[in-house]
Chain A
Amino acid sequence: MIPTKTAYTRPESIEEALATLADGARPIAGGMSLIPMMKLRLASPASLVDLSGLAELTGIAMDGSDLVIGAMTRHREVAGSALVRAQAGALADAAAGIGSPAVRNRGTIGGSLAQSDPHGDLPAVLLALGGSVEVRGASGSRTIAAADLAVGFLTTTLAADEMIVAVRLPGGAGRSAYAKFHRRAIDWSIVGAAAVIRGTTTTVALTGMAAVAVRATGFEVIVNAGGSLEEAARHAGDGTRPAEGLDGSAEYKRHLAGVLARRATEAALAR
Protein backbone atom coordinates (compact mmCIF):
# COMPACT_ATOMS: atom_id res chain seq x y z
CA MET A 1 0.00 0.00 0.00
CA ILE A 2 1.33 3.38 -0.99
CA PRO A 3 0.40 6.62 0.75
CA THR A 4 -0.82 9.59 -1.26
CA LYS A 5 1.72 12.20 -2.38
CA THR A 6 3.03 14.38 0.37
CA ALA A 7 5.80 16.86 1.06
CA TYR A 8 8.25 16.45 3.93
CA THR A 9 10.53 18.56 6.10
CA ARG A 10 12.59 17.81 9.18
CA PRO A 11 13.26 21.13 10.94
CA GLU A 12 15.91 21.48 13.62
CA SER A 13 14.31 24.28 15.61
CA ILE A 14 10.91 24.53 17.28
CA GLU A 15 10.29 27.92 15.65
CA GLU A 16 10.83 26.44 12.20
CA ALA A 17 8.57 23.49 13.06
CA LEU A 18 5.83 25.84 14.27
CA ALA A 19 6.07 27.89 11.07
CA THR A 20 5.71 24.70 9.01
CA LEU A 21 2.70 23.65 11.10
CA ALA A 22 1.14 27.07 10.57
CA ASP A 23 1.54 26.45 6.83
CA GLY A 24 -0.65 23.39 7.19
CA ALA A 25 1.84 20.55 7.66
CA ARG A 26 0.91 17.60 9.85
CA PRO A 27 3.36 16.41 12.52
CA ILE A 28 4.90 12.98 12.13
CA ALA A 29 6.50 11.49 15.24
CA GLY A 30 7.12 7.72 15.25
CA GLY A 31 4.77 7.27 12.31
CA MET A 32 3.44 4.06 13.85
CA SER A 33 -0.14 5.24 13.58
CA LEU A 34 0.13 7.96 10.94
CA ILE A 35 1.88 5.87 8.26
CA PRO A 36 -0.67 3.02 8.50
CA MET A 37 -3.44 5.65 8.29
CA MET A 38 -1.77 7.20 5.25
CA LYS A 39 -1.54 3.79 3.58
CA LEU A 40 -5.22 3.17 4.22
CA ARG A 41 -6.01 6.71 2.99
CA LEU A 42 -7.58 7.51 6.34
CA ALA A 43 -5.08 10.38 6.36
CA SER A 44 -3.73 12.16 3.30
CA PRO A 45 -1.67 15.08 4.61
CA ALA A 46 -0.37 17.38 1.85
CA SER A 47 2.81 17.81 3.86
CA LEU A 48 4.53 16.33 6.88
CA VAL A 49 6.74 17.94 9.47
CA ASP A 50 9.01 15.36 11.11
CA LEU A 51 9.57 16.24 14.76
CA SER A 52 12.53 13.88 15.18
CA GLY A 53 15.09 16.62 14.55
CA LEU A 54 13.98 18.62 17.60
CA ALA A 55 16.37 17.70 20.40
CA GLU A 56 14.30 19.68 22.95
CA LEU A 57 11.44 17.24 22.45
CA THR A 58 13.24 14.21 23.88
CA GLY A 59 14.27 13.24 27.36
CA ILE A 60 12.94 12.35 30.79
CA ALA A 61 13.65 14.59 33.80
CA MET A 62 12.24 15.91 37.07
CA ASP A 63 11.07 19.53 37.22
CA GLY A 64 10.49 20.12 40.91
CA SER A 65 8.16 17.30 41.93
CA ASP A 66 6.86 16.80 38.37
CA LEU A 67 8.10 14.20 35.93
CA VAL A 68 8.50 15.81 32.50
CA ILE A 69 8.86 13.68 29.37
CA GLY A 70 9.60 15.15 25.95
CA ALA A 71 6.91 14.45 23.37
CA MET A 72 9.32 12.63 21.02
CA THR A 73 10.54 10.24 23.71
CA ARG A 74 10.10 6.71 22.36
CA HIS A 75 8.05 4.07 24.20
CA ARG A 76 11.22 2.02 24.62
CA GLU A 77 12.93 4.84 26.57
CA VAL A 78 9.87 5.39 28.74
CA ALA A 79 9.51 1.66 29.44
CA GLY A 80 13.17 1.31 30.40
CA SER A 81 13.50 4.45 32.52
CA ALA A 82 14.17 3.92 36.25
CA LEU A 83 12.88 7.45 36.87
CA VAL A 84 9.55 6.68 35.20
CA ARG A 85 9.29 3.40 37.10
CA ALA A 86 9.90 5.23 40.41
CA GLN A 87 7.65 8.24 39.77
CA ALA A 88 4.92 6.86 37.51
CA GLY A 89 4.94 3.05 37.53
CA ALA A 90 1.71 2.81 35.54
CA LEU A 91 3.31 4.64 32.62
CA ALA A 92 6.32 2.31 32.62
CA ASP A 93 3.97 -0.70 32.58
CA ALA A 94 1.84 0.70 29.77
CA ALA A 95 4.79 1.74 27.59
CA ALA A 96 6.38 -1.70 28.00
CA GLY A 97 3.17 -3.35 26.79
CA ILE A 98 2.72 -1.35 23.59
CA GLY A 99 2.96 -3.42 20.39
CA SER A 100 6.31 -5.14 19.82
CA PRO A 101 9.94 -4.03 20.32
CA ALA A 102 9.99 -2.58 16.79
CA VAL A 103 6.86 -0.53 17.53
CA ARG A 104 8.32 0.69 20.83
CA ASN A 105 11.57 1.66 19.11
CA ARG A 106 9.69 4.19 16.95
CA GLY A 107 6.41 5.13 18.65
CA THR A 108 6.42 8.16 20.95
CA ILE A 109 4.52 9.32 24.01
CA GLY A 110 3.45 12.57 22.33
CA GLY A 111 2.28 10.78 19.19
CA SER A 112 0.23 8.30 21.22
CA LEU A 113 -1.53 11.05 23.15
CA ALA A 114 -2.16 13.11 20.00
CA GLN A 115 -3.49 10.02 18.24
CA SER A 116 -6.06 9.54 21.00
CA ASP A 117 -7.00 6.04 19.91
CA PRO A 118 -9.77 4.60 22.13
CA HIS A 119 -7.72 1.42 22.48
CA GLY A 120 -4.38 3.20 23.00
CA ASP A 121 -3.02 2.73 26.51
CA LEU A 122 -1.47 6.09 27.35
CA PRO A 123 -4.55 8.36 27.56
CA ALA A 124 -5.91 6.37 30.53
CA VAL A 125 -2.51 6.46 32.19
CA LEU A 126 -2.29 10.25 31.77
CA LEU A 127 -5.82 10.61 33.17
CA ALA A 128 -5.24 8.41 36.22
CA LEU A 129 -1.93 10.13 37.00
CA GLY A 130 -3.54 13.57 36.70
CA GLY A 131 -1.06 14.63 34.05
CA SER A 132 -1.16 17.21 31.31
CA VAL A 133 0.48 18.01 28.00
CA GLU A 134 2.48 21.11 27.22
CA VAL A 135 1.58 22.49 23.85
CA ARG A 136 3.13 25.07 21.56
CA GLY A 137 1.54 26.75 18.59
CA ALA A 138 1.96 29.78 16.40
CA SER A 139 -0.06 31.79 18.92
CA GLY A 140 1.87 30.73 22.02
CA SER A 141 2.07 28.02 24.67
CA ARG A 142 -0.57 26.37 26.79
CA THR A 143 -1.10 23.40 29.04
CA ILE A 144 -3.95 20.95 28.47
CA ALA A 145 -5.03 18.72 31.36
CA ALA A 146 -5.57 15.03 30.58
CA ALA A 147 -9.35 15.30 30.91
CA ASP A 148 -9.46 18.16 28.39
CA LEU A 149 -7.18 16.67 25.73
CA ALA A 150 -9.21 13.85 24.17
CA VAL A 151 -12.73 14.68 23.08
CA GLY A 152 -13.71 11.81 20.80
CA PHE A 153 -12.61 9.01 18.50
CA LEU A 154 -9.11 10.00 17.27
CA THR A 155 -9.96 13.58 18.18
CA THR A 156 -8.25 15.98 20.57
CA THR A 157 -8.52 19.67 21.41
CA LEU A 158 -5.13 20.32 19.78
CA ALA A 159 -5.38 22.91 17.01
CA ALA A 160 -3.94 21.94 13.64
CA ASP A 161 -1.06 24.39 14.10
CA GLU A 162 -0.20 23.17 17.60
CA MET A 163 2.09 20.42 18.77
CA ILE A 164 2.66 18.64 22.05
CA VAL A 165 6.17 19.41 23.24
CA ALA A 166 6.13 17.58 26.58
CA VAL A 167 4.07 15.50 28.95
CA ARG A 168 3.96 16.61 32.59
CA LEU A 169 3.03 14.18 35.37
CA PRO A 170 2.84 14.91 39.08
CA GLY A 171 5.56 12.60 40.44
CA GLY A 172 5.43 10.41 43.50
CA ALA A 173 3.20 7.82 41.84
CA GLY A 174 5.54 4.85 42.12
CA ARG A 175 2.55 3.00 43.59
CA SER A 176 0.67 2.84 40.34
CA ALA A 177 0.23 0.15 37.73
CA TYR A 178 -1.36 -0.59 34.36
CA ALA A 179 -3.08 -3.82 33.35
CA LYS A 180 -4.36 -4.59 29.85
CA PHE A 181 -6.15 -7.41 28.11
CA HIS A 182 -5.82 -8.36 24.48
CA ARG A 183 -6.29 -11.61 22.62
CA ARG A 184 -3.27 -11.81 20.31
CA ALA A 185 0.33 -10.90 21.07
CA ILE A 186 0.75 -7.41 19.60
CA ASP A 187 -2.88 -6.33 19.60
CA TRP A 188 -4.06 -3.13 21.18
CA SER A 189 -5.95 -3.37 24.46
CA ILE A 190 -9.57 -4.43 24.29
CA VAL A 191 -9.78 -2.93 27.77
CA GLY A 192 -7.05 -1.58 30.06
CA ALA A 193 -6.92 -0.05 33.53
CA ALA A 194 -4.47 2.35 35.15
CA ALA A 195 -4.53 2.48 38.95
CA VAL A 196 -2.74 5.17 40.98
CA ILE A 197 -2.47 5.22 44.75
CA ARG A 198 -1.50 8.49 46.41
CA GLY A 199 -1.75 8.40 50.20
CA THR A 200 -5.13 6.85 50.91
CA THR A 201 -6.72 7.76 47.59
CA THR A 202 -7.00 5.37 44.67
CA THR A 203 -7.66 6.71 41.17
CA VAL A 204 -8.47 4.40 38.28
CA ALA A 205 -8.92 5.20 34.59
CA LEU A 206 -10.01 2.82 31.85
CA THR A 207 -8.97 2.24 28.23
CA GLY A 208 -11.44 0.95 25.65
CA MET A 209 -14.67 1.66 27.53
CA ALA A 210 -15.65 4.76 25.53
CA ALA A 211 -14.28 6.83 22.66
CA VAL A 212 -11.90 8.39 25.18
CA ALA A 213 -10.35 7.20 28.44
CA VAL A 214 -12.76 7.43 31.40
CA ARG A 215 -12.47 7.29 35.19
CA ALA A 216 -13.78 4.14 36.88
CA THR A 217 -15.83 6.23 39.30
CA GLY A 218 -17.92 3.32 40.63
CA PHE A 219 -14.74 1.43 41.51
CA GLU A 220 -13.02 4.47 43.05
CA VAL A 221 -15.95 5.38 45.32
CA ILE A 222 -16.09 1.92 46.88
CA VAL A 223 -12.32 1.50 47.32
CA ASN A 224 -11.87 4.98 48.73
CA ALA A 225 -14.69 4.35 51.25
CA GLY A 226 -12.82 1.28 52.48
CA GLY A 227 -14.81 -1.30 50.51
CA SER A 228 -13.29 -4.51 49.15
CA LEU A 229 -11.64 -4.71 45.74
CA GLU A 230 -13.98 -7.55 44.89
CA GLU A 231 -17.02 -5.36 45.52
CA ALA A 232 -15.42 -2.40 43.74
CA ALA A 233 -14.62 -4.55 40.69
CA ARG A 234 -18.33 -5.22 40.19
CA HIS A 235 -18.87 -1.50 39.72
CA ALA A 236 -15.79 -0.55 37.66
CA GLY A 237 -17.81 -0.30 34.46
CA ASP A 238 -20.84 1.45 35.99
CA GLY A 239 -22.21 4.09 33.66
CA THR A 240 -20.07 3.04 30.67
CA ARG A 241 -21.45 2.07 27.28
CA PRO A 242 -18.46 0.56 25.45
CA ALA A 243 -18.80 -0.10 21.72
CA GLU A 244 -19.89 -3.63 20.94
CA GLY A 245 -17.96 -5.43 18.23
CA LEU A 246 -15.87 -8.41 17.27
CA ASP A 247 -13.74 -7.75 20.33
CA GLY A 248 -16.64 -8.30 22.69
CA SER A 249 -20.04 -7.26 24.00
CA ALA A 250 -20.53 -4.31 26.34
CA GLU A 251 -21.23 -6.70 29.18
CA TYR A 252 -17.98 -8.56 28.53
CA LYS A 253 -16.02 -5.32 28.47
CA ARG A 254 -17.57 -4.13 31.72
CA HIS A 255 -16.53 -7.44 33.24
CA LEU A 256 -12.99 -6.92 31.91
CA ALA A 257 -12.95 -3.40 33.37
CA GLY A 258 -13.60 -4.84 36.82
CA VAL A 259 -11.00 -7.58 36.50
CA LEU A 260 -8.35 -5.18 35.21
CA ALA A 261 -9.12 -2.35 37.66
CA ARG A 262 -8.67 -4.82 40.46
CA ARG A 263 -5.53 -6.34 38.94
CA ALA A 264 -3.93 -2.91 38.45
CA THR A 265 -4.86 -1.80 41.97
CA GLU A 266 -3.42 -4.97 43.49
CA ALA A 267 -0.21 -4.49 41.51
CA ALA A 268 0.02 -0.86 42.65
CA LEU A 269 -0.57 -1.88 46.29
CA ALA A 270 2.25 -4.41 46.02
CA ARG A 271 4.73 -1.72 44.96
Chain B
Amino acid sequence: MRSSIRITVNGVEHDLEVEPRRLLVHALREDLGLTGTHVGCDTSSCGACTVHLDGDAVLSCTMLAVQANGRSITTVEGLATAGGLHPIQTAFHERHALQCGFCTPGMLMAGAALIEGNPEITEAEVRQGLEGNLCRCTGYQNIVDAVLVAARETARA
Protein backbone atom coordinates (compact mmCIF):
# COMPACT_ATOMS: atom_id res chain seq x y z
CA MET B 1 0.00 0.00 0.00
CA ARG B 2 1.34 3.41 -0.93
CA SER B 3 0.54 6.84 0.47
CA SER B 4 0.40 10.07 -1.48
CA ILE B 5 2.39 12.82 0.14
CA ARG B 6 3.26 16.38 -0.73
CA ILE B 7 6.51 17.74 0.62
CA THR B 8 8.33 20.95 -0.14
CA VAL B 9 12.03 20.33 -0.55
CA ASN B 10 14.36 23.29 -0.91
CA GLY B 11 11.41 25.44 -1.90
CA VAL B 12 10.05 23.09 -4.57
CA GLU B 13 6.80 21.16 -4.02
CA HIS B 14 6.89 17.44 -4.78
CA ASP B 15 4.03 14.94 -4.93
CA LEU B 16 5.31 11.46 -4.12
CA GLU B 17 3.80 8.01 -3.82
CA VAL B 18 5.67 6.25 -1.04
CA GLU B 19 5.29 3.17 1.05
CA PRO B 20 4.64 4.26 4.65
CA ARG B 21 7.82 2.45 5.72
CA ARG B 22 9.96 4.53 3.36
CA LEU B 23 12.52 6.53 5.30
CA LEU B 24 12.71 10.23 4.54
CA VAL B 25 16.39 9.94 3.67
CA HIS B 26 15.60 7.35 0.99
CA ALA B 27 12.82 9.50 -0.45
CA LEU B 28 15.25 12.41 -0.66
CA ARG B 29 18.16 10.47 -2.09
CA GLU B 30 16.41 7.93 -4.30
CA ASP B 31 13.07 9.44 -5.29
CA LEU B 32 14.27 13.03 -5.59
CA GLY B 33 17.91 12.36 -6.46
CA LEU B 34 19.16 14.65 -3.70
CA THR B 35 22.21 12.65 -2.70
CA GLY B 36 23.80 15.43 -0.68
CA THR B 37 22.17 14.02 2.44
CA HIS B 38 24.34 11.09 3.54
CA VAL B 39 23.58 7.91 5.42
CA GLY B 40 26.40 7.20 7.84
CA CYS B 41 25.22 4.87 10.56
CA ASP B 42 21.55 4.33 9.70
CA THR B 43 20.97 3.97 13.47
CA SER B 44 20.39 7.60 14.61
CA SER B 45 23.91 7.85 16.01
CA CYS B 46 26.02 9.92 13.59
CA GLY B 47 24.01 12.90 12.32
CA ALA B 48 25.24 12.58 8.69
CA CYS B 49 21.60 12.49 7.55
CA THR B 50 20.58 15.74 9.29
CA VAL B 51 18.13 17.92 7.34
CA HIS B 52 15.84 20.75 8.40
CA LEU B 53 12.14 20.08 8.93
CA ASP B 54 10.39 23.46 8.99
CA GLY B 55 13.73 24.92 10.05
CA ASP B 56 14.61 22.44 12.80
CA ALA B 57 17.40 19.88 12.57
CA VAL B 58 16.10 16.30 12.36
CA LEU B 59 17.57 12.91 11.46
CA SER B 60 16.19 11.89 8.08
CA CYS B 61 17.23 8.26 8.70
CA THR B 62 14.93 8.15 11.73
CA MET B 63 11.85 9.65 10.15
CA LEU B 64 9.32 8.21 7.74
CA ALA B 65 8.66 10.18 4.58
CA VAL B 66 4.92 10.09 5.41
CA GLN B 67 5.64 11.91 8.68
CA ALA B 68 6.95 14.82 6.59
CA ASN B 69 3.72 15.09 4.59
CA GLY B 70 2.72 18.75 4.27
CA ARG B 71 6.00 19.96 5.71
CA SER B 72 8.94 21.86 4.36
CA ILE B 73 12.39 20.30 4.19
CA THR B 74 15.75 21.84 3.51
CA THR B 75 18.67 19.64 2.52
CA VAL B 76 22.29 20.67 2.08
CA GLU B 77 21.49 21.35 -1.59
CA GLY B 78 19.11 24.07 -0.45
CA LEU B 79 21.47 25.83 1.94
CA ALA B 80 22.98 28.22 -0.61
CA THR B 81 20.70 30.89 -2.05
CA ALA B 82 20.81 32.86 -5.29
CA GLY B 83 22.82 35.38 -3.27
CA GLY B 84 25.61 32.84 -2.75
CA LEU B 85 26.80 30.29 -0.24
CA HIS B 86 25.34 30.17 3.27
CA PRO B 87 27.83 31.72 5.74
CA ILE B 88 28.40 28.28 7.25
CA GLN B 89 29.43 26.87 3.86
CA THR B 90 31.87 29.74 3.35
CA ALA B 91 33.26 29.27 6.84
CA PHE B 92 33.74 25.49 6.37
CA HIS B 93 35.59 26.25 3.13
CA GLU B 94 37.80 28.96 4.60
CA ARG B 95 38.53 27.19 7.89
CA HIS B 96 39.18 23.82 6.28
CA ALA B 97 36.48 22.21 8.38
CA LEU B 98 36.48 18.93 6.46
CA GLN B 99 38.73 16.21 5.21
CA CYS B 100 36.87 13.35 3.52
CA GLY B 101 33.63 15.33 3.61
CA PHE B 102 31.34 12.46 4.51
CA CYS B 103 30.02 14.08 7.68
CA THR B 104 29.94 17.56 6.15
CA PRO B 105 26.32 17.77 4.92
CA GLY B 106 25.11 16.80 8.41
CA MET B 107 27.56 19.15 10.11
CA LEU B 108 26.44 22.02 7.88
CA MET B 109 22.75 21.40 8.56
CA ALA B 110 23.18 20.85 12.31
CA GLY B 111 25.49 23.86 12.51
CA ALA B 112 23.17 26.12 10.50
CA ALA B 113 20.23 25.24 12.79
CA LEU B 114 22.40 25.86 15.83
CA ILE B 115 23.49 29.38 14.88
CA GLU B 116 20.11 30.47 13.48
CA GLY B 117 19.02 33.42 15.63
CA ASN B 118 21.97 32.80 17.95
CA PRO B 119 24.95 34.81 16.61
CA GLU B 120 26.53 35.09 20.07
CA ILE B 121 26.66 31.32 20.60
CA THR B 122 29.67 30.24 22.68
CA GLU B 123 32.27 27.64 21.82
CA ALA B 124 30.96 25.35 24.58
CA GLU B 125 27.42 25.65 23.18
CA VAL B 126 28.68 24.77 19.69
CA ARG B 127 30.48 21.68 20.98
CA GLN B 128 27.40 20.63 22.95
CA GLY B 129 25.08 21.41 20.04
CA LEU B 130 27.08 19.25 17.63
CA GLU B 131 27.15 16.28 19.99
CA GLY B 132 24.94 14.25 17.67
CA ASN B 133 27.29 14.66 14.68
CA LEU B 134 30.29 12.38 14.36
CA CYS B 135 33.36 13.17 12.27
CA ARG B 136 36.01 10.49 11.88
CA CYS B 137 38.60 12.74 10.23
CA THR B 138 39.03 16.25 11.49
CA GLY B 139 39.22 16.11 15.28
CA TYR B 140 36.37 18.67 15.30
CA GLN B 141 38.52 21.74 16.06
CA ASN B 142 38.15 23.35 12.64
CA ILE B 143 34.46 22.45 12.51
CA VAL B 144 33.82 24.24 15.80
CA ASP B 145 35.88 27.23 14.60
CA ALA B 146 33.93 27.38 11.34
CA VAL B 147 30.54 27.26 13.08
CA LEU B 148 31.62 30.11 15.38
CA VAL B 149 32.90 32.18 12.43
CA ALA B 150 29.60 31.60 10.61
CA ALA B 151 27.58 32.57 13.69
CA ARG B 152 29.39 35.90 14.00
CA GLU B 153 29.05 36.40 10.25
CA THR B 154 25.26 36.00 10.35
CA ALA B 155 25.15 38.81 12.94
CA ARG B 156 26.90 41.11 10.48
CA ALA B 157 24.81 40.10 7.47
How many pairs of residues, A versus B, come closer than 8 Å at their CB atoms? 78
A residues with a Cβ closer than 8 A to B are 1-8, 10, 28, 31-32, 35-36, 38-39, 48, 50, 52, 76, 99-103, 105-106, 185-186
* A residues in contact with B57, CB < 8 Å: 101-102, 105
List the 7 shortest-distance A-B pairs measured between CB atoms, nearest first: A100-B132, A8-B20, A185-B131, A3-B21, A105-B56, A102-B57, A102-B59
Q: Are B58 and A106 in contact (CB under 8 A)?
A: yes
Q: Which residues of B (78-100) have their CB < 8 Å from a CB of A?
A: none
Query: Contact check: which of B45, B62, B131 meets A106 at CB < 8 Å?
Result: B62
Q: Are B23 and A8 in contact (CB under 8 A)?
A: no
Q: Are B63 and A35 in contact (CB under 8 A)?
A: yes
Interface contacts beyond A28-B67, A50-B66, A101-B57: sample of 16 additional A-B pairs, CB < 8 Å, sorted by A: A1-B43, A4-B21, A7-B1, A8-B3, A10-B66, A28-B64, A31-B63, A36-B62, A39-B42, A102-B47, A102-B50, A102-B57, A105-B56, A105-B58, A185-B132, A186-B131
* A residues in contact with B113, CB < 8 Å: 101
* B residues in contact with A48, CB < 8 Å: 20
User: Digit string of B57-75 for contact with A (CB within 8 Å is 1, else 0)?
Assistant: 1110011101101000000
Min Cβ gap B5→A in Å is 10
CA distance A102 to B19 in the complex (A): 24
* A residues in contact with B21, CB < 8 Å: 2-6, 38
